[in-house]
């Protein structure tokens, strides 16, 4: 199996290329262009298509990870930062009210 076959399968299934750095992707694409005998325009079009596939795969991966993390956090019953912030504000307000009540008792 040639590098072309491996990269083509990875690109079309949305796996692998999303994890490659831009530099590594460019290197791989250059090798493929030479191996396949692409013209300059064909090479540019192929590189553009592969980069689009990689970006799409990266976005899908981000969505999957975000969903999985949110699901795991909800099952773990951990408080979100927004919930902690809201509770902190409530505590501050209650402390102020208690301090006012304490001041009234002293008077």
Residue pLDDT, tens place only, 12-56 = 555 555 555 667 777 877 888 788 888 878 878 887 888 788 788
The pLDDT value given to residue 94: 96
- Rounded CA-CA distance 34/40 in Å is 10
Q: Is 50 exposed, middle or buried (0-12, 13-18, 19+ CB in 10 A)?
A: buried
Domain ranges within the chain, ordered by starting residue: 3-76, 79-107
Q: What is the predicted pLDDT for the residue at 27?
A: 80
pTM for the full predicted model: 0.47
Burial 86-98 (b: 16+ CB within 10 A, else e): eeeeeeeeeeeee
């Amino acid at each position: 199996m040639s590098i072309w076959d491996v990269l083509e399968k990875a690109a079309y299934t949305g796996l692998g290329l999303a994890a490659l750095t831009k530099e590594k992707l460019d290197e791989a694409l250059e090798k493929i262009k030479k191996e396949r005998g692409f013209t300059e325009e064909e090479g540019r079009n192929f590189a553009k298509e592969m980069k689009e596939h990689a970006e799409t795969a990266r976005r899908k991966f981000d969505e999957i990870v975000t969903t999985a993390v949110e699901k795991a956090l909800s099952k773990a019953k951990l408080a979100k930062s927004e919930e902690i912030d809201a509770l902190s504000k409530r505590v501050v307000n209650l402390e102020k009210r208690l301090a006012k009540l304490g001041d009234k008792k002293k008077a």
